[in-house]
Amino acid sequence: MPRVMLNDFLRRHALGRPHTTALFCGDRTLSYAELDATTNRLAEWFLSEGLRPGDRVAIQWPNAIEVVQVYFASFKAGLIAVPINLRLKPSEIAWIVNDAAPSLCFAPPPLAEVWLSYTLPASWTKLDQVTL
């Protein structure tokens, strides 16, 4: 059986059924073509910012379309997604951050404000807020 990557799944659906809804959250929707295009742009942005395959991207975001976009873009860029539960205590988050040493964090305001207050590990290279 051939090996199929998640990227291939998305690409095939974007080509075969571009206008079909891929994601919905509340009243927001995204088609397969839109999901593929936005994740391609985000993956390119990751690489243009100096991230390299194998780097980690921390994600602490409520359930939303953006979470899936960041995951797919991470996979496309060869990055490792590090999900961080919203219910964790600051000390637990700090442990994950220190252990995983992510190069980038995705968190919406006001969570981004909390991230900025953490003592980040020396390996931390970038903290950005990105609008998808």
pTM for this structure? Answer: 0.80
Low-confidence ranges of the chain (pLDDT < 50): 121-129, 131
Predicted local distance difference test score (pLDDT) of residue 124: 44
In a domain, 80, yes or no: yes
- Tens digit of each residue's pLDDT (9 = 90 or more) over 23-37: 999 999 999 999 999
Predicted local distance difference test score (pLDDT) of residue 118: 59
Evaluate whether 30 touches 22 at the Cβ level (below 8 Å).
yes
In a domain, 131, yes or no: no
In a domain, 125, yes or no: no
In a domain, 126, yes or no: no
Phi and psi at 107, nearest 5°, equal: -150, 135
**Neighbour count for residue 117 (Cβ, 10 Å):** 8
Predicted local distance difference test score (pLDDT) of residue 4: 66
Cα torsion 38, 44, 46, 50 to 10°: value is -170
| Cis amide bond preceding 83, omega within 30 | no
In a domain, 130, yes or no: no
Predicted local distance difference test score (pLDDT) of residue 125: 39
In a domain, 123, yes or no: no
Number of domains into which the chain is organized: 1
In a domain, 104, yes or no: yes
* 52 CB-near residues (< 8 Å, 6+ apart): 78
Token reading at 6? 């998640």
In a domain, 50, yes or no: yes
CATH of the domain at 30: 3.40.50.980
| Sign for the pseudo-dihedral over CA of 11, 17, 18, 22 | negative
